[in-house]
C-alpha cells in the first residue's frame, strides 16, 4: 500500500456520487487523488497536477472526455483509462482511437477499477524503464523499420510517432514477422497477463496501427487478420 503513496490519480468526473466513491476508494488504496469536474478543468489543471494516471469519464461538461484525451496525448504519454456509461461504449472506442490505454464501463466495482489502475501503472513503469520491449537493434520488415532503443518507427521513409501501446504491439508483431500470434499472446505481451479488460482494445490498436502502417488500411497487406486465431505481420515475398 505504501508504495503507491506518491502516485496521483487524476479523476475527471462530473457525478458527485462517483467522485465520492472514487476518492474514498482510491485513497484507501494509498493513491493520491485530484478531482476535475469537467473537461476544461482537467485540461487547465493537468500540468500542475502532473498525474501518474488519468481516470477520464467520457461524458463531461464543457469538453468531452475524448477531446480531453486527444489534448493530453499531444503532450503526454500518461496512462489514461476512459470511463463510460453503458450505451456510450462507442465513445470509449473513439477514446482508444485517440490514445487512451484502457476503458472500463459504469457501473464498475471499485476493486476492479483499482486493479485496472495498478495494471496500467505497472505497464507504464515497466515501459518507461525500457523493460517491456526487449531492446536491441532495429528490425526492418517490408516498409517498416522499428527501433526499440530509440523508440522510433519509420514507415516508407517517414518517421511516425506511435503511442506506447501501439509501439509495443507493432514491435511484438514485427519481431515475430511471418508467424501468427494469437490474440491471447498479443494481449499478454503488450497489456500483461493480468489484463482483463475488453479484448476490443486489441482490435482498436490493430486498426490504429494499420492506419499508420498500411498503404491502404482498408485492405491490409502487412498486418493480417488470421481468422479465429489472431494477427500476423506479413513478410514481403
The binding site for Ca ion (CB under 5 A) comprises 14, 57, 59
In the complex, minimum distance from the CB of residue 57 to Ca ion, in angstroms, rounded to a whole number: 4
Query: Using CA atoms, how far apart are residues 80 and 95, in angstroms rounded to an integer?
Result: 9
In the complex, minimum distance from the CB of residue 19 to Ca ion, in angstroms, rounded to a whole number: 10
Tell me how crowded residue 60 is: count the other CB atoms within 10 A of its CB: 23
Residue with smaller CB distance to Ca ion, 98 or 164: 98
34 with 55: CB under 8 angstroms? no
Give the distance from CA 115 to its chain's centroid. Answer: 15
Residue with smaller CB distance to Ca ion, 61 or 130: 61
User: For residue 22, what are the CA distances in angstroms to 34, 51, 122, 191?
Assistant: 10, 15, 20, 24
In the complex, minimum distance from the CB of residue 60 to Ca ion, in angstroms, rounded to a whole number: 6
Q: Tell the residue number behind the cell numbers 500518461, with chain if given.
A: 78
Residue with smaller CB distance to Ca ion, 14 or 67: 14
Query: Using CA atoms, how far apart are residues 170 and 233, in angstroms rounded to an integer?
Result: 9
Residue with smaller CB distance to Ca ion, 18 or 143: 18
Residue with smaller CB distance to Ca ion, 57 or 101: 57
- Between 89-97 and 65-73, two packed helices, what is the crossing angle to 10 degrees? 10
The secondary structure element, H or E, covering residue 204 is helix 200-213
In the complex, minimum distance from the CB of residue 103 to Ca ion, in angstroms, rounded to a whole number: 14
In the complex, minimum distance from the CB of residue 36 to Ca ion, in angstroms, rounded to a whole number: 12
Give the distance from CA 201 to its chain's centroid. Answer: 8
User: Which residue lies nearest Ca ion, judged by its C-beta?
Assistant: 59
Residue with smaller CB distance to Ca ion, 11 or 117: 11
In the complex, minimum distance from the CB of residue 24 to Ca ion, in angstroms, rounded to a whole number: 18
Grid coordinates given for 213: 502502417
Amino acid at each position: 500500500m505504501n508504495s503507491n503513496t506518491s502516485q496521483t490519480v487524476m479523476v475527471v468526473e462530473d457525478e458527485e456520487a462517483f467522485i465520492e466513491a472514487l476518492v474514498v476508494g482510491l485513497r484507501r488504496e494509498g493513491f493520491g487523488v485530484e478531482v476535475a469536474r469537467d473537461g476544461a478543468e482537467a485540461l487547465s489543471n493537468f500540468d500542475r497536477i502532473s498525474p501518474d494516471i488519468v481516470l477520464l469519464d467520457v461524458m463531461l461538461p464543457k469538453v468531452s472526455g475524448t477531446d480531453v484525451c486527444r489534448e493530453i496525448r499531444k503532450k503526454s504519454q500518461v496512462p489514461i483509462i476512459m470511463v463510460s456509461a453503458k450505451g456510450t461504449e462507442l465513445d470509449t472506442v473513439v477514446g482508444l482511437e485517440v490514445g487512451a490505454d484502457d476503458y472500463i464501463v459504469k457501473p464498475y466495482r471499485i476493486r476492479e477499477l483499482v486493479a485496472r489502475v495498478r495494471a496500467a501503472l505497472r505497464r507504464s513503469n515497466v515501459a518507461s524503464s525500457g523493460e517491456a520491449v526487449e531492446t536491441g537493434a532495429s528490425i526492418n520488415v517490408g516498409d517498416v523499420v522499428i527501433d526499440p532503443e530509440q523508440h522510433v518507427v519509420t514507415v516508407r521513409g517517414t518517421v511516425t510517432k506511435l503511442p506506447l501501446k501501439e509501439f509495443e504491439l507493432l514491435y511484438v508483431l514485427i519481431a515475430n514477422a511471418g508467424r501468427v500470434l494469437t490474440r491471447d499472446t498479443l494481449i499478454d505481451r503488450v497489456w500483461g497477463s493480468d489484463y482483463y479488460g475488453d479484448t476490443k482494445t486489441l482490435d482498436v490498436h490493430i486498426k490504429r496501427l494499420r492506419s499508420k502502417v498500411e498503404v491502404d488500411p482498408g485492405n491490409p497487406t502487412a498486418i493480417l487478420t488470421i481468422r479465429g486465431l489472431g494477427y500476423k505481420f506479413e513478410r514481403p515475398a
